[in-house]
Amino acid sequence: MFYINMKRNFMYVIGMAMLLSSTSCHSQKTPSAEAGNVPPYEISNLPKVDLKGFKQNADGAYVIFDGTSLNGWRGYNKEKVPAKWSIENGTLKFSKNPQGVTNPDGGDLIFAHDFKNFELEFEWKISHAGNSGVFFLAKEVKDQPIYISSPEYQLLDNDNHPDAKMGVDGNRKSGSLYDMIPAKPQNGRPAGEWNKAKIVVNKGKVTHYQNGEKVVEYELWTPAWTQLLQASKFSQAKWPLAFELLNNVGGKSKSGVIGFQDHGDDVWLKNITVKVL
């Protein structure tokens, strides 16, 4: 009898150990899956680039687009640059209907390097009634859009795109943290005119600049950040996976890629630099 009881206890301990091991492995893939509201997801393991191959300007910033080459760039969750993205007169352009290309593919474009603390600067202009955006600290989540894991600096024709009148207090206008914090003052220029943008990320503190003025400021990984998400389209109730990823933006490394959005409208970009902090 004593032997049988010891055997039963041993088998029970082994069974519990296997169960705990299985639960632990699952939670590494989806940290909040045990709550029952976050579906499984997988981060892509696509090639990244080394910054050592890129020139630095007088301020020590890496020139990641110099108007002549798409070195380092590729599609989000892709191994090549989609055909709707090209170089046009020294600018990086997304074309809704590129000429001379049959059945061109589109999609968001990323610079394939994980940045953590940095200053991103660039110039942009948008077509009439155009919409686009800039992403940072993004992960490449298989079968999911880039904005599921990344804050978005909005690029918009404020005068003609309907998104400018949606959201709350103008939080979908240019320079804004999309659907969360409006850019104030709102100093975006009309469609067809160049704007200057700067995004600073430093130890969780994020600042948006538009045309030389600070327009948005917030801090990631804080209760205030969680509250912003809960009041947006990315709330835990509305979109559990987006809430999970954005609430922990950048993942364990607190880093990710920079990307520009294919929203279906022509957009031009130039003088793109990143200074690592």
Q: Specify whether 137 is located in the same domain as 200.
A: yes
Q: pLDDT tens digits, residue range 45-59?
A: 999 999 999 999 999
Neighbours of 166 (CB within 10 A): 12
Question: What is the number of domains present in the chain?
Answer: 2
Q: Read off the CATH number of the domain in which 243 is found.
A: 2.60.120.560
Q: Are 151 and 249 within 8 A, CB to CB?
A: yes
Residues 63 and 178 in one domain: yes
For 98-132, the pLDDT digits (tens) are 988 888 999 999 999 999 999 999 999 999 999 99
Give the domain range for residue 196: 38-276
Count the helix, strand and coil residues of the chain and give each as a percent rounded to the nearest 5. Answer: 20, 30, 50
- The answer on 133 and 1 residing in a single domain is no
Same domain for 88 and 5: no
Residue 217 sits in the same domain as residue 170: yes
Pair (152, 255) in one structural domain: yes
Do both 102 and 142 map to the same domain?
Answer: yes
Q: Is 73 helix (H, G, I), strand (E, B) or coil?
A: strand
pLDDT at 99: 87
Co-location of 49 and 24 in the same domain: no
Whether residue 16 is found in the same domain as residue 57: no
Global pTM value:
0.86
CA atoms within 13 A on the CB side of 199: 29
Other C-beta atoms within 10 Å of 256: how many?
A: 24
- 183 and 242, same domain (yes or no): yes
**65-71, Cβ contacts within 8 angstroms, sequence gap of 24 or more:** 65/92, 65/111, 65/122, 65/269, 65/270, 65/271, 65/272, 67/91, 67/270
